[in-house]
A = this chain, B = another copy of it.
């Protein structure tokens, strides 16, 4: 086990109707908030109205900024920063999925900062201060409701870049599983793939003696798959949504990766797809993950045998480990297919044209120099092209 430090200030408020107390939860911190959200869905569902009502009842003034899109854009972040400065806003309430929360985090970083907020994403430097923020989650997927990370797309240059700091964890996040009943099927599937990927990016490691986090990762993955099956048949199942939502938070609050080297190659390869083709993050991960696995497993076959047996339920045997590994990967892929997720680039409408360009962007390859990605197996741009090809 590696050394580690862990700190997570986010208070999780979980259960039916809990979003209705958002006003009184914010009031001790601020009299005025940026109410940040995405499109029309929260208006249709009535959530928008309930939030407005709760804020008003608590005497919290709301300045609205809607319009966050999946793969949230830097341009809207700039608009949010400008709005907060003009109106003297010191607290951001994100009502939405990971894109809205990530956008809110970027605004929280940018408001008190003299320079361009994009600096943080490029340089990874730590902020001296950020605005407080809170979230009401409407789509369990990215774990952004208690994570220390934010991923923003800079439309100029088609760059999708992640940033992490413990200071951007929300003060609190409200999770009411009932809010998820009306989500479109494809968004549910994408979300499930994303949260599984957050665990797998941490799980596949060459760090030894990681019994505890191995077990926690495996349990959480199994719970997600079991309950995803239930939601396929019954999208209004409170208990299945509660398990999925709670698991989505655990998947990315940092706990499951403590003391272990992590990978994150699939996320980085996927970010290139999203940046150029604007594909849904979860769908991109469903495509990249099995191909990545097939390309890298020989680096540590035993780790993949453990995955196949402990997570995918392949019967343990010891004489043909590679058969077990392949069966485990096939089962994961079949699970993605069963959720209606794509598992090839072709299904995403992506052809061979940009593979090399995306691979080189992933490793920041310039003038022969590059920074390989992946903690489990180092991948250079040529490896990444191979993995993209495996995924065609």
Contact = CB atoms under 8 A, between A and B. Distances in A.
Interface of A: 1-16, 18, 172, 208-209, 211-212, 215-216, 218-220, 222-223, 226-227, 239, 242-243, 246-247, 250, 255, 258-259
A246 B259 contact: yes
Contacts of A243: 1, 209, 211-212
27 contacts: A1-B246, A3-B15, A3-B18, A4-B12, A4-B14, A5-B12, A5-B14, A6-B11, A6-B14, A7-B9, A8-B8, A9-B9, A14-B258, A209-B239, A209-B243, A211-B243, A212-B220, A212-B246, A212-B247, A215-B219, A215-B220, A215-B223, A216-B216, A216-B219, A216-B220, A218-B219, A246-B258
Contacts of A5: 11-14
Contacts of A10: 7
A10 B8 CA distance: 8
A60 to B, nearest CB: 20
Contacts of A9: 7, 9
Given A1-B242, A243-B1, A259-B242, A212 B11 contact: no
B3 A239 contact: no
A7 B1 contact: no
A106 B221 CA distance: 39
A227 B211 contact: yes
Most buried by B among A16, A227, A243: A243
B1 A11 contact: no
- Integer count of this chain's copies in the complex: 2
A215 B239 CA distance: 15
A55 to B, nearest CB: 20
Contact of A211 (B2, B7, B215, B223): B223
Contacts of A208: 239
Most buried by B among A2, A212, A258: A212
A14 B216 contact: no
Given A211-B226, A220-B212, A6 B12 contact: yes
A147 to B, nearest CB: 15
A220 B13 CA distance: 24
A211 B4 CA distance: 28
A101 to B, nearest CB: 18
Given A246-B258, A258-B246, A7 B12 contact: yes
Nearest to A13: B5
A195 to B, nearest CB: 12
Given A215-B222, A220-B215, A242 B209 contact: yes
A218 B212 CA distance: 11
A275 to B, nearest CB: 33
B14 A7 contact: no
Contacts of A16: 3
A227 B6 CA distance: 22
A65 B340 CA distance: 63
A117 B9 CA distance: 27
B4 A15 contact: yes
A1 B177 CA distance: 11
Nearest to A2: B15
B212 A250 contact: yes
Given A8-B8, A12-B7, A219 B212 contact: yes
Most buried by B among A14, A208, A227: A14
Contacts of A216: 216, 219-220, 250
A240 to B, nearest CB: 8
B18 A14 contact: no
**What are the 8 closest A-B residue pairs judged by CB atoms, nearest first?**
A3-B15, A215-B219, A209-B239, A7-B11, A1-B242, A211-B223, A6-B12, A212-B223
